[in-house]
Amino acid sequence: MSNQPRVSANLSKTGNVVRDSALGLVTETVDPYLRFNHAIWHNGPLTAAEVELARLRNARKVNCVFCKAVRYDIAIEAGLDEAKVEQITDDFNQSELSEREKLILAYTDYYLQQPTAMTSEFKQRLTEEFSTAEIVHLSLAIMLCNCFSRCAVSLGGMPEEDLPRMQISVPE
Amino acid sequence: MTWFTEANTQQDIIDRAPTLAPTFKTFYDSFWQLSSAPPSLLELCRLRVAQLHQSDYQWQHQQIKLSTEKRQSLSEWSKSAVYTDTEKACLAFTEVYCMDPQAITDAQAEAVKSELGDAGLVALIEALGLFYGMTRVSQLWGF
């Protein structure tokens, strides 16, 4: 993995964390990304705490150091605390997380590892717990988080060691 | 019809989340009008992502019309003369991206940048994330 950012020239300085990043170079996608990201965190049927569970599971599996360090304030306000975050490990099935939370993490793992391998029993458990709109929301949230964590890794410049925890707002 | 809804296409399923579908569609559509990465180039990469995932659903989808020759030769793009240097640099990047983005080398990134510039490299990386995600979600949903 490259320790040097692969893109650094002519980045803007607007004060917006997304617009001032390398993503700001692709002007046509910035606003659509910000609006879609806003919708994922604010407009879907899942709570922000549930979306954050999937985001952090993805961050740890992709090993995006920035993503792992971030906690979105909207998720904390919705009930996610560090005691829960600490249970987002490979042993989450033995954790004290609720069955609904475990299903979110397991679905995220299927996306990350083997999306064609879901069993009929697991699909049934999902449909008993989640509405169609909730499954779509979870799927799109995982996709978006995975897309941009892989983006951060691909662009290089990722610190080798974990960063301190950072509580921030969802970029607007 | 899939395991959790009677909708028949990926887009129809996304429409079942009406508070998210419009912004998702705008986001997805924005990738097909980039000044830094031509749609035909991104379509080649999207199809290569589909091939690497063995996703017939995504392979059958046609976002942008390509020549039959370019579609048919895609699995052997590195040995084919039908692809440009730009396309080959992006397809090489696509393959490593799908395996492990941590394995992308500076040389592979530079090869894309030399063809498309900084913005083109970022656009390609974003687009690959979207294509990778759409492919995996379609597989989760049983397509």
Per-residue model confidence as pLDDT tens digits over B60-99 = 999 999 999 999 999 999 999 999 999 999 999 999 999 9
Residue A67 lies in a domain: yes
The fraction of chain B above a pLDDT of 90, given in percent, is 99
- Is A40 contained in some domain? no
B105 and A2 within 8 Å at the Cβ level: the answer is yes
Kindly report the CATH number assigned to the domain that includes residue A127.
1.20.1290.10
In a domain? residue A54:
yes
Cβ contact, residue pair A143, B33, below 8 Å: no
Mean of the per-residue pLDDT values for chain B? Answer: 97
**Can you tell me which residue has the tokens 């060691």?**
A161
> A110-157: per-residue pLDDT in tens?
999 999 999 999 999 999 999 999 999 999 999 999 999 999 999 998
pTM for this one? 0.96
> A150: which 2 tokens?
């892989």
Higher-pLDDT residue of A134, A8: A134
Predicted confidence band at A15 (pLDDT cuts at 50, 70, 90)?
confident
Confidence at A10, pLDDT banded by 50, 70, 90: low
Residues 52-81 of A with CB under 8 A from B: 62-63
* Within a domain: A41: no
> Into how many domains does chain A fold?
1
Give every residue of chain B whose pLDDT is below 50, as ranges.
none
Best of B10, B30, B100 to mutate (most A CBs within 10 Å, chain A): B30
pLDDT at position A11, please?
77
Question: Are the Cβ atoms of B133 and A144 closer than 8 angstroms?
Answer: yes
CB contact under 8 A, A43 and B119: no
Residues contacting residue A35 through CB under 8 Å, at least 6 positions apart:
B23, B26, B27
- A1 pLDDT higher than 80: no
- Is a pLDDT exceeding 70 seen at residue A44? yes
Whether residue A10 lies inside any domain: the answer is no
The strand pairing partners of A166, in sequence order, are: A70
Whether residue A71 lies inside any domain: the answer is yes
pLDDT at A9: 61
A120, A137, A143, A145, best to mutate vs chain B, most B CBs in 10 Å: A143
Is A13 inside a domain boundary? Answer: no
Q: For residue B123, what pLDDT is reported? A: 98
Which domains does chain B carry?
10-140 (1.20.1290.10)
Q: How far is B16 from chain A (nearest CA, A)?
A: 6
Quote the CA–CA distance of A134 and A126 in Å, as a whole number.
Answer: 10
User: Residue A22, CB half-sphere, CA atoms under 13 Å: how many?
Assistant: 23
Tell me whether A29 touches chain B (CB under 8 Å): yes
What is the model's pLDDT at position A14?
Answer: 87
- Identify the pLDDT of residue A8: 78
Cβ-Cβ contacts under 8 Å, A1 against chain B: 102-103
Alpha helix (H) residue ranges in chain A: 27-42, 48-62, 65-69, 73-77, 82-85, 99-113, 120-129, 132-154
Please report the pLDDT score of residue A81 as a whole number: 95
Which of B23, B34, B106 has its CB closest to that of A35?
A: B23
CA-wise closest residue to B130 among A105, A150, A13, A89 = A150
pLDDT at B6: 93
Q: Do B133 and A2 touch (CB under 8 A)?
A: no
Domain housing A94: 47-168
Is A32 within the bounds of a domain? Answer: no
Cβ separation of B31 and A23 shorter than 8 Å?
A: no
Q: Which of A33, A107, A139, A145 is the mutation pick for testing B, counting most B CBs within 10 A?
A: A139
pLDDT tens per residue across span A86-110: 999 999 999 999 999 999 999 999 9
